[in-house]
Structure 1
Amino acid sequence: MEKINQIAQSINTFVWGPPLLILLVGTGIYLSFRLGFLQVFKLPLALKYLFSEDPETKDMQAEGDISAFASVCTALSATIGTGNIVGVATAIRLGGPGALFWMWMAAFFGMATKYAEALLAVKYRVVDENGQMSGGPMYYIERGLKNKFLAKCFAIFGIGVAFFGIGTFAQVNSITSAVNIAFKVPVVVTGVILTICVAMVTLGGIKSISKVSEFIVPFMAVSYILGTVVILIMNASQLPATVALILKSAFTPTAAAGGFAGSTVALALKSGVSRGVFSNESGLGSAPIAAAAAKTKSCVRQGLVQMTGTFFDTILVCSMTGITLVLTGMWNNPNVEGAAATTAAFRAGLPGIPMVGELIVTVGLIFFAFTTILGWNYYGERCTEYLFGVKGINIYKYIFIALVAIGPFLKLNLIWTIADIVNGLMAIPNLIAIIGLSGVIASETKKYFEDIKKEDKNKQTVGM
């Protein structure tokens, strides 16, 4: 078994090595230039679209199962998870405060990638035998890139991540452990309740998942951000030095201190980029599966809406965690790591009310992890439908629920390693498709904004 673990770890190191990270970030950089840094100049428009109904869908039956806002919440339910609390702490512990800066850079360019993959998902989506929308990398790889082999590879990897990775074991363990530590509830009890809750929501399909996500995701994200804002206000005098340390550490080696072993610029960059990509999933191909379910008549409009997901996940939520860790000094505390480091940071940041800080982190971790399970259940379901048709969906759901039930009792390192491998492998066929279809992305984008300009000119002419 030890030998198998070593082989799997070597494969994981290779898959998540420099080539994939360069491909992920490089795709974002390429798209940013080709689309005229759309993530900067069109972000206000994207935020406007997020909170407003598409006028083209008001008076007609628009294709899609859920609203554009619900599709973003569903995607965010899968991305805002343990990575925003545990992953950020791990990245900064390994790469130093500078890792947070490189996390920002990965998110900045990742917004262009998220826009592109969501655009393609809506453009090439189809209606399945149950009348539900199906879309995502497997469809734009097959219908756009004309490559069924890569499409099937993506779907297989997607099911693997849903079953053995982000979708079940990692989240279930996080929830049961957090509840046991904070509230002394036995793991078995939490596991049973969690399984029942997952079954009740997921068996209802995308509409049920999106309704729960629409409620939990905004509420928990806002609560978590407000908690960190209070900490920043209470420690405002230390904020300039904190920001300066983050920026300095991004470009100069960080010396060893406390429980921190020291870091080079290369290690800070790798830690920040890999954790940023892992958190917001830009380029991995998961979010466009949710985007394809949106009620919209414009692939560009939905691409802009979906792009905001990376902004909220990393630029806002991950930043709040990272700044709090650096500001309180808990990023290099030798006595805590992972979720414990973030909890300690919130306690230190709220010295008069430490239990409130602990509660924010614990409750945030529980609900973020729960919604991640829901989001990945849907992603795996759509991958299953692509490979086996609608007849495979119920079988998939029952297996998924069974895996959630046994998740609290599994402590196999090999499973985590395999999960990381299939997660990384998902990105390869997706990125090949995005680059191969970049001409389609650019032309659709150009046409959309040209049409908007024509409409504005016509309105001005009529008004004169």
Structure 2
Amino acid sequence: MESFHSFLQLLDGNLGGAAWFPYVLLGVGLFFTFYLKFPQIRYFKHAWKVVTGKYDKANSPGDTTHFQSLATALSGTVGTGNIGGVAFAIYLGGPAALFWMWATAFLGMTTKFVEVTLSHKYRVKTADGTMAGGPMYYMERRLNMKWLAVGFAIATVISSFGTGSLPQVNNIADSMEASFGLDKMLVGGVLAVLLGLVILGGIHRIAAVTSRVVPFMAALYLIGAFAVIFANLGNIGPAFVSIVGDIFTGSAATGGFLGATIAYAFNRGVNRGLFSNEAGQGSAPIAHAAAKADEPVSEGIVAILEPFIDTIIICTLTGLVILSSGVWHEKFENTFERSNMLIVDGKYDENNQADREHMFKYLNGLESDVIQPYNGKIDVVNGEAVSGGFTVIAARSFAEDVKFGVGDMDDVYTGTINVKDGLPVRDSVIVQGKSLIHSAALTTQAFTRGFFGESGKYIVSLGILLFAFSTAIAWSYYGDRAMTYLLGPRSVMPYRVIYCAGFFWASFSDTTLVWTLANVAIVVMTLPNLLGIMLLRKEMKQTVNKYWEDFDKEYPKDS
């Protein structure tokens, strides 16, 4: 498994983690923002009118209303990215990462407008009478690039696991274990069964469930977030200052946080922004293709609201909760995941400025020859190391109060632990102590610093359950539409079975591995879609102009 994770990290480093990817993603959004004259601003008010059904027509082709399509698409985007993803971005890149999430969302509003419009324009009606759409259809029907369409559809199936299934249930299980002490495997098993019951009903049942769950879960999460924000109101100003002030300087070290460079904050913020709102990924167009609409542009305009609601509202609240509470640079008692831990050669002291700088450079990829993984033995007596010459780094921080165990920490361990390339040779070795934390665990801690106190963690747990479960539901639909395109309707049922099985497996797998898999899957799906919409840029502008010409004639009072 460690070898697989290393391979995924290599892929991530050359794709989503590569320096060029954020520029490609933001570059496409920036191009269309100017090319279409800032549609995310000019059409914003109109989008709310369309989604409320003001211009609906009873005989329009499609399976769902504008609101149901938006709710389904939002259920696919409003998930662990809003709770664990924001925390992960701040943990990696500091406060400045949140600014780059905003930038990704603002430009992503235009990107989503474009991809949804084009995909809706070239949707098809399947043999069972339901609508099917997505980037693969405009790639084949308009661009005559079947190979690109097939590649995108395959990437969609992979991403349905990497984005919609695996990281979602992983965060649910972690949260339920932390808050209620529930066994991860039990949580995964129960939810996998419930997931199967929902997705077997197809888009109609999915739309019915998500249109009810999304508003409720958003309201619940907002209540919990504001309870923390108002309790720490004096820290909101400094939080905004740190977000904006660190944009061009990187985030300085504070507390257990060792700091982050500008490049690292930029890369991680854009990457987490994409994971959160999926603008450019090509997933939302699959949900919007089912909407009842004669005009593709009208559905594209509805899609403008997604990144705004998802990232600029919900992710901002999560970020302010984490920053104002101060938990992002505090250390907490936890069990270190192997993929998130490294035992390095030599004794480094967090209170020594030179040692902190070396570790900062190492963690941010600026210096790789000074710090080396430890190889040797660690003598342990009653769970504590009695030999020296090494330092434990966990969650990008100096670990404190480290204890070692084998199999079960309840039994005090005395003996020798062999270490190779910075990790214990035996997988059964458990290492505990204080370190920074990330993802849903960090957000959970932040929610306990508000008016609800320790009870705030239950809001996060329930929020994660609803957010993540609804995301998994929506992504199952994206995957089965891709399977329908690739292999026909008969392939949908086997896909759903495997999807639910993967959902169960990820509930008790390594968190860091799951997030890395998600990072890779996202980029593999995004790049073909960005290429496709760029090739159709002229048609997009013509389609938009035609929409407004027809709209002005039909609704002159609203023009």
TM-score with structure 2 length normalisation?
A: 0.78
Distance 2:191 2:555 in 1: 51
Distance 2:233 2:14 in 1: 42
Measured against aligned partners, the alpha-carbon deviations of 1:319-362 in whole angstroms (never above 9, x if no partner) come to 00001111111121132332222122121133xx2133212111
Structure 1 residues 253-262 or 201-210, which shifts more? 253-262
Q: Is the 8 A contact 2:506 2:514 kept in 1?
A: no
SS in 2 for 1:261: coil
Letter in 1 for 2:529: N
Tell whether 2:347 aligns with 1:349: no
Taking the TM superposition and a 5 Å limit, the aligned residue runs for 1:33-432 are: 33-55=34-56, 57-58=57-58, 60=59, 62-163=60-161, 165-335=162-332, 336-350=437-451, 353-411=452-510, 417-432=516-531
Q: Is the 8 A contact 1:123 1:299 kept in 2?
A: yes
Q: Is the 8 A contact 2:32 2:111 kept in 1?
A: yes
Q: Which has the higher helix share?
A: 1
**Per-residue deviation, 1:182:** 1.4
User: Residue 11 and residue 44 in structure 1: after superposition, are their counterparts in 2 closer, same or farther (change >3 A)?
Assistant: same
**Per-residue deviation, 1:294:** 0.6
Q: Is the 8 A contact 1:283 1:430 kept in 2?
A: yes
SS in 2 for 1:6: helix
User: Residue 94 and residue 406 in structure 1: after superposition, are their counterparts in 2 closer, same or farther (change >3 A)?
Assistant: closer
Give me the CA root mean square deviation: 1.9
**Per-residue deviation, 1:167:** 2.5
Distance 1:414 1:89 in 2: 17
**Per-residue deviation, 1:91:** 0.8
Letter in 1 for 2:210: S
**Per-residue deviation, 1:4:** 4.9
Q: Which has the higher strand share?
A: 2
Distance 1:416 1:19 in 2: 20
Distance 1:455 1:385 in 2: 37
Across the two proteins, how many residue pairs are aligned to each other?
Answer: 453
* Paired-residue identity, %: 40
**Per-residue deviation, 1:234:** 3.4
TM-score with structure 1 length normalisation?
A: 0.93
Distance 1:446 1:324 in 2: 42
Letter in 1 for 2:197: M
Letter in 2 for 1:319: T
Distance 1:415 1:237 in 2: 36
* 1:447 corresponding residue in structure 2: 546
**Per-residue deviation, 1:191:** 2.4
Select the structure with the greater relative contact order (CA < 8 A; seq sep ≥ 6): 1
SS in 1 for 2:129: coil
Unaligned runs of 5+ in 1: none
Measured against aligned partners, the alpha-carbon deviations of 1:61-118 in whole angstroms (never above 9, x if no partner) come to x211111111111111111111111111111122111111111011000000000011
Tell me which structure has the larger Cα radius of gyration: 2
Letter in 2 for 1:42: Y
SS in 1 for 2:324: helix
Measured against aligned partners, the alpha-carbon deviations of 1:359-417 in whole angstroms (never above 9, x if no partner) come to 21111111111011101100000000000111211222222223223333444966654
Structure 1 residues 32-41 or 418-427, which shifts more? 418-427
Q: Is the 8 A contact 1:160 1:419 kept in 2?
A: no
Q: Is the 8 A contact 2:293 2:299 kept in 1?
A: yes
